[in-house]
């Protein structure tokens, strides 16, 4: 498989734009569906004092667009754009966080794409996916320290939330994303000949 640096094509082709639009709409709808799921999960966990885990259990679902766009399009910036556009779809569908969804999408896209960038956009397989999950976890966790008030939590809870977030990111943004990629490749849409 080609890397960005090996590719003769350093510009976005029409196919890339169409794939990005597909990812944004498909995953943006999933983002929108996760809003009520989050509310139910947070309500269920609140009596036990575990409401913050709702966000970390589901955040991988909210970060599927970036790794999917990255491994399908294989262009620098695809992950950030995929996540940002998918968050715009969620917002336009009436997502409960409104315009703030765009800022979260940007932070999540940068976090996820940083893993592929750290590998110089040369690994679109499990190593890249793993790196994306690590950088996505770190960057979004730092964001949550400030935005979600995580800085006030005790160290034990922070460690548990961090581990939960990584597992969520690796499952949704790794295992499920690779499964979706394989289905799309099987369809013949990604003929790279």
Question: Does a structural domain hold residue 98?
Answer: yes
Question: Does a structural domain hold residue 193?
Answer: no
Sequence-separated (6 or more) residues with CB below 8 Å from residue 189: 19
Task: Look at residue 187 in the predicted model and tell me its pLDDT.
Answer: 87
Question: Does a structural domain hold residue 2?
Answer: no
Question: Does a structural domain hold residue 45?
Answer: yes
The pTM assigned to this predicted structure is 0.90
Question: Does a structural domain hold residue 6?
Answer: no
Question: Does a structural domain hold residue 8?
Answer: no
Question: Does a structural domain hold residue 4?
Answer: no
- Residue closest to 84 by CA, chosen among 70, 190, 163: 70
pLDDT in tens, 2-53: 444 444 457 888 989 999 999 999 999 999 999 999 999 999 999 999 999 9
Q: Which domain holds residue 95?
A: 14-187
- DSSP per position, 148-160: S-GGGS-HHHHHH
Domain count of the chain? 1
Task: Look at residue 22 in the predicted model and tell me its pLDDT.
Answer: 94
Question: Does a structural domain hold residue 1?
Answer: no
pLDDT in tens, 43-70: 999 999 999 999 999 999 999 999 999 9
């Amino acid at each position: 498989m080609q890397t960005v640096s090996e590719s003769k094509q350093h510009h976005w082709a029409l196919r890339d734009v169409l794939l990005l639009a597909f990812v944004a709409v498909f995953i943006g709808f999933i983002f929108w569906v996760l809003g009520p799921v989050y509310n139910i999960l947070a309500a269920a966990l609140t009596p036990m004092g575990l409401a913050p885990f709702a966000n970390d259990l589901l955040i991988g679902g909210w970060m599927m667009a970036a790794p999917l766009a990255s491994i399908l399009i294989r262009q620098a910036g695809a992950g950030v754009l995929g996540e940002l556009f998918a968050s715009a779809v969620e917002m336009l569908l009436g997502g409960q966080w409104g315009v703030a969804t765009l800022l979260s999408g940007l932070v999540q896209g940068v976090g996820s794409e940083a893993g592929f960038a750290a590998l110089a956009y040369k690994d679109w397989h499990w190593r890249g996916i793993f790196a994306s999950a690590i950088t996505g976890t770190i960057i979004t966790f730092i964001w949550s320290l400030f935005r979600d008030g995580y800085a006030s939590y005790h160290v034990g809870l922070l460690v548990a939330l961090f581990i939960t977030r990584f597992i969520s990111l690796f499952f949704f943004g790794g295992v499920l994303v690779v499964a979706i990629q394989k289905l799309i490749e099987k369809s013949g849409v990604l003929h790279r000949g």
